[in-house]
């Protein structure tokens, strides 16, 4: 799975680089238009009202492109790290579950990975952490201890 993730990361990196280069060329075009507009205004070819309207539109376009570029650069691999953490946690859980006399270790692992459990009004609630919030069912719906016991009893894998 880590090899597949690495291959996806490489593909994602290439896609992001292509998007960024395209956006940078569009940004360069907008900057050239702004320069030509300013030159036209200074040479008194363009009237003030037309200059202000076109300048506002070009500045908005330039800002939008700069934000897209920074967002791609900042967030392009966030999902990869979350998936990598999830896979590594699953591997660690597998090792702990296979070991003998691991009750304390397993308890510590369950507390530190995946979610933040707490009791509130005789109801067990949890907040999924980072990449674990996607597979968590109904994360906002707290479960009572009765609901948990019923789910546990009806799960054939825990018998």
Does residue 89 fall inside a structural domain? no
**Could you tell me the residue range of the domain that residue 59 belongs to?**
2-76
What's the pLDDT at 125? 59
Q: Of the residues 56, 76, 96, which one is the last residue of a structural domain?
A: 76
Does residue 102 fall inside a structural domain? no
| Sign of the dihedral through C-alpha 15, 16, 20, 26 | positive
Does residue 13 fall inside a structural domain? yes
- Whether 125 and 80 have beta carbons less than 8 Å apart is answered as no
- Whether 132 and 115 have beta carbons less than 8 Å apart is answered as yes
125 and 63 in a common domain: no
Does residue 159 fall inside a structural domain? yes
Does residue 21 fall inside a structural domain? yes
Give the total number of structural domains in the chain: 2
132 and 70 in a common domain: no
- Distance, CA of 130 to CA of 22 (rounded, Å): 31
Strand order in the sheet with 115-120: 115-120, 123-128, 143-144
C-alpha distance from residue 158 to each of 40, 56, 142, 154 (Å)? 76, 64, 22, 9
Does residue 39 fall inside a structural domain? yes
11 and 68 in a common domain: yes
Name the pTM for this structure.
0.54
Does residue 7 fall inside a structural domain? yes
Q: What digits encode the pLDDT tens for the residues 106-148?
A: 666 666 665 555 556 656 555 555 555 554 454 445 555 555 5
Backbone angles phi, psi at 155, to 5 degrees: -90, 115
Q: Of the residues 48, 76, 104, which one is the last residue of a structural domain?
A: 76
C-alpha distance from residue 120 to each of 62, 101, 114, 117, 123 (Å)? 49, 31, 19, 10, 5
Does residue 88 fall inside a structural domain? no
Question: Which residue stretches of the chain have pLDDT < 70?
Answer: 100-103, 105-159
């Amino acid at each position: 799975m880590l090899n597949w993730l690495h291959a996806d990361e490489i593909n994602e990196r290439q896609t992001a680089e292509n998007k960024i280069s395209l956006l940078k060329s569009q940004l360069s075009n907008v900057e050239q238009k702004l320069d030509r507009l300013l030159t036209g205004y200074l040479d008194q070819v363009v009237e003030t009202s037309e200059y202000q309207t076109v300048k506002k539109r070009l500045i908005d376009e330039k800002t939008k492109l700069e934000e897209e570029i920074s967002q791609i650069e900042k967030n392009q691999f966030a999902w990869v790290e979350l998936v990598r953490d999830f896979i590594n946690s699953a591997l660690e859980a597998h090792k702990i579950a296979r070991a003998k006399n691991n009750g304390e270790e397993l308890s510590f692992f369950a507390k530190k990975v995946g979610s933040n459990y707490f009791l509130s009004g005789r109801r067990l609630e949890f907040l999924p952490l980072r990449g674990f919030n996607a597979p968590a069912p109904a994360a906002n719906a707290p479960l009572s201890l009765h609901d948990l016991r019923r789910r546990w009893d009806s799960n054939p894998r825990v018998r």
